[in-house]
Amino acid sequence: MKLYNYAPTTDSLYEEVLRGLGKNNKTLPGALLYDERGSQLFEKICEQPEYYLTRTELQIMQQSIDEIVALLGKDVALVEYGSGSSTKTAILLDHLPELACYIPIDISKEHLLQAAEKLARQYLHLEILPVCADYSQPFHLPPSSKVAMRYVAYYPGSTVSHFLPQEAVDFLAQIRQVCGPDSRLLIGVDLKKDPRLIEPAYNDAAGYSRAFTSNILTHINRRFGADFANQAFAYQAFFDSQAGRVEFYLVSQQSQTVHLNGVTIDFQAGERINLAYSYKYSLYEFAELAAQAGWRVQQVWTDEQQLFSVQYLTTYHTRTSHMEDAYGTGS
C-alpha cells in the first residue's frame, strides 16, 4: 500500500514549538498530541462513559445511514479528515459498495497505516489511498484508478471545534479547494448543552484525558531532545460559557526551567500551556460559520437529546451567506 506523505518536517514543528513556548501565554501545536501513543490514548478516551461524543455520533450514523448514503450517491471518492482508527468510517464503507476510492488523512503515520491496512483486508475491492498530513495545511489528494463522480469529505468527531471560529471558516473553505467546487461534506458537530454534561467528557475518571494530554511532553522530549518532567505539570480542562468552548491546559506545578535542544524555557508556578479548544455550536451558529466558507447545510441529523449533530453540506457557488438556506432542512 502506497503512503502519500505530506507530514510536517521535524524542523518546521520544532520552530512552531519554540514560537509557542516563547509567547507570554504559552501554547503547543495540537498536532503533536497525536503520535502513535497519543492516538492510542485518544481512542481510549472515546470509549469512556463520560465521553458522549463518539457513542452519540455512532448512534446517529447507524440510525440515519440509509438517508446519508442516498445523499452521498454512487461512485464518489470518500476523503476522511483525521481518520484515526476509522471506526465510524466502517459504517459508511459497509453501505457504500460502489465507492471510487477511500482516502484517509491523518497526522500519525503509524496509526494511519495500521488502520488503512486493516480496512484493506476487510474491503478487498476498495482502493485505499492513505495520506499522512497536517490537513490544516495545503496538500494534494492522490489520484485514484477509478474516476470519481465527486469528492465527499468526511470529518467526524466534531474535530472542527478545535479551530478558532475564523480558523474554522478558513479550514472549511480549504476543504472546498482540496476536494473541488462540486464536493460535499459530511461533518460531525458537537452542540451547545448544559456544561455539566460537557466538562466530564474531558475529565474522565479513568484518567485517559490527563494521560493523553501529558503525552505531548513525552513526544516533545523524544522528538526534540527536551527534558520536560510530566509530573511537574497538571492537566486542566474546563468549559468557558462566555466563549462557548472547552479549554485545555497543562499547568506548571512549580517554578522550573525546561531545556529544548539547547534553548532554555522558564515556567512560573501556575503558568499554563494552552493545548487546544473545543467549541460548541448551536445549529444556527454552525450554519452561519459554514456559509462564510461557501457551504450550505442541506441536512442535519441529531440524537433525541440534541447533544450532537451529523450534518451534510453542499457548496455555494459564491461565499455569500444566505441564512435561510444555510440553516438546512432537518434537525
What global pTM score does this model have?
Answer: 0.90
The residues pairing with 311 across neighbouring beta strands, listed in sequence order, are 187, 300
Model pLDDT for residues 46-66, shown as the tens digit of each residue: 999 999 999 999 999 999 999
Asked if 297 and 326 touch (Cβ cutoff 8 Å), the reply is yes
pLDDT tens track for 198-245:
999 999 999 999 999 999 999 999 999 999 999 999 999 999 999 999
Judging by beta carbons within 10 Å of its beta carbon (0-12, 13-18, 19+), is residue 255 exposed, middle or buried?
A: exposed
> Are the CB atoms for 102 and 130 separated by under 8 Å?
no
Phi first, then psi: give them for residue 53, nearest 5 degrees.
-60, -50
**Domains in the chain, ordered, with CATH?**
10-49+197-279 (no CATH), 52-194+281-326 (3.40.50.150)
Please give the backbone phi and psi of residue 184, each rounded to the nearest 5 degrees, phi first. Answer: -125, 165
In which band, very low, low, confident or very high, does the pLDDT at 324 lie, cut at 50, 70 and 90? very low
Q: Following CA atoms 33, 128, 302, 319 in sequence, which dihedral angle do they give, to the nearest 10 degrees?
A: 80
Average pLDDT over residues 17-35: 94
Q: What is the pLDDT of residue 139?
A: 87
DSSP readout, 159-194? Answer: GGGGS-HHHHHHHHHHHHHHH-TT-EEEEEEEB---
C-alpha cell at 189: 458537530
Task: Supply the mean pLDDT for the chain.
Answer: 92
